[in-house]
Amino acid sequence: MTATIPFTPAVGDRAPSSSPLRLTLAPAGAPPALIDGAWWPRSRNLTEQLPALVECLDPLWGRITRIAVSRTFWPVIPGEVPAHGHMVRVGWSNAGQDPHELLLLSYTFGCWSLLVIPPETGPATAARLMATATDPSRSLPPSGLIRVAERFRAAAEAAADSDSLREAVWDSEGGHDAPRPASRTPDGPVTRHVPTAAAGV
């Protein structure tokens, strides 16, 4: 069971944003794992994206004081960001940290780790990653989860392309204009072969 956070941050005195935070966390009491959840930011702008994340996590994990990211993933890394009435320091490293991991240090509860799903990821793949990141049996590091999801997406696209190619060949040979041959199952009823569309990703 996962806990998806339907959190819509307020920005200053303005009305709340129409874009809720895309975050899922492992439920309380879940077995220890390499990551504690997944975050799907809407852009690679940390200055815009981090305050809402911290505002949501502060009440759950205690005051977040520091965040560490990989320089590989983020083009610009601010030294600190304002969040929930306090400043949060942001650090980075070129090595030693998974490029798809975000570390948060809490004032009271220690360190937490989130899988960062690239903003440009398609909704179906992102949903799969968010579910996998909070599965009780999760054991892969963040980049491992991204690689598995990419292989799954590529395989599904290849299957869809293969089905499309078979359909195109059948059409080019007059398939839509000619009745398809009937076949009989062992029990005797007549069936017709109907192509099925590949499942979407």
pLDDT tens digits for 85-103? Answer: 899 999 987 667 888 999 9
- The pLDDT value recorded for residue 188 is 39
Least confident of 2-6, 37-41, 70-74, 119-123: 2-6
Least confident of 3-12, 136-145, 160-169: 3-12
Taken as a whole, the chain contains a residue count of 201
User: How many CB atoms neighbour CB 52 within 10 A?
Assistant: 24
User: pTM of this prediction?
Assistant: 0.68
**Residue 191: band (very low, low, confident or very high) from pLDDT cuts 50, 70, 90:** very low
CA atoms within 13 A on the CB side of 190: 3
- The pLDDT value recorded for residue 170 is 57
- The pLDDT value recorded for residue 157 is 75
